[in-house]
Amino acid sequence: MRSLLMHSPVVIAAGWIGTYLLITLLPLLLLLIYPPPADRGFWIEFSVALGFIALAMMALQFALTARINRIEASYGVDIILQFHRYISLVAFTLVLVHPLILFVVQPETLQLLNFPVAPWRARMAVMGTLALIVLVVTTIWRQQLKIPYEPWRTSHGILAVLSVALGLGHAIGVGNYLGLFWKAVLWTGIAVLALWLLVYVRLVKPWFMLKKPYLVEEVRPERGDVWTLALRPLGHKGFRFQPGQFAWITLDISPFRMREHPFSMSSDGDNSERIEFSIKALGDFTNTIKDVAPGTKAFLDGPYGVFTTERYEDSAGFVLITGGIGITPMMSMLLTAAKRKDDRPYVLIYASKKWDDITFREELDELKDKLDLKIIHVLKEPPEDWTGEKGYVDKELLERYIPKRRGTRQYFICASPKMMDQVELALHRLRVPATNIHMEHFNLV
| Inter-residue contact 383 to 291 (CB < 8 Å) | no
Nearest distance from C-beta of residue 424 to ligand FAD, angstroms = 17
Nearest distance from C-beta of residue 309 to ligand FAD, angstroms = 16
- The answer to the question of residue 286 lying near ligand FAD (CB under 6 A) is yes
Part of the chain binding ligand FAD (CB under 6 A), chosen from 32-40, 117-125, 279-287, 370-378 = 279-287
Nearest distance from C-beta of residue 60 to ligand FAD, angstroms = 22
Part of the chain binding ligand FAD (CB under 6 A), chosen from 45-53, 255-263, 333-341, 430-438 = 255-263
SS3 state at 391:
coil
Q: Which long-range contacts (CB under 8 A, 24 or more apart) does 5-13 make?
A: 9/74, 12/70, 12/74, 13/74, 13/75
Give dist(CA 209, CA 404) in Å, integer. 47
Give dist(CA 22, CA 91) in Å, integer. 16
- The answer to the question of residue 409 lying near ligand FAD (CB under 6 A) is no
DSSP 254-301: -GGG---EEEEB-S-TT-TTSEEEEEE--STTGGGGGGPPTT-EEEEE
Closest chain position to ligand FAD (CB): 283
Over the window 147 to 176, marking each residue x when it contacts ligand FAD by CB under 6 A and - when it does not, the resulting string is --x---------------------------
Residue nearer to ligand FAD on the CB measure, 27 or 224: 224
Q: Which of 156, 261, 409, 438 binds ligand FAD (CB under 6 A)?
A: 261
Phi and psi at 323, nearest 5°, equal -145, 140
Alpha helices in 107-259 (DSSP H): 120-140, 149-174, 181-199, 205-211
Q: Which of 17, 137, 140, 444 binds ligand FAD (CB under 6 A)?
A: 444
- The answer to the question of residue 200 lying near ligand FAD (CB under 6 A) is no
| Inter-residue contact 240 to 269 (CB < 8 Å) | yes
Q: Which of 75, 263, 318, 346 binds ligand FAD (CB under 6 A)?
A: 263
- Measured over the CA atoms of residue 48, residue 50, residue 56 and residue 59, the dihedral's sign is negative
Over the window 296 to 335, marking each residue x when it contacts ligand FAD by CB under 6 A and - when it does not, the resulting string is -----------------------------x--x-------
Q: Are strands 213-222 and 297-304 parallel, antiparallel or unpaired?
A: antiparallel
Binding site for ligand FAD (CB under 6 A): 149, 246, 260-264, 278-280, 282-286, 325, 328, 440, 442-445
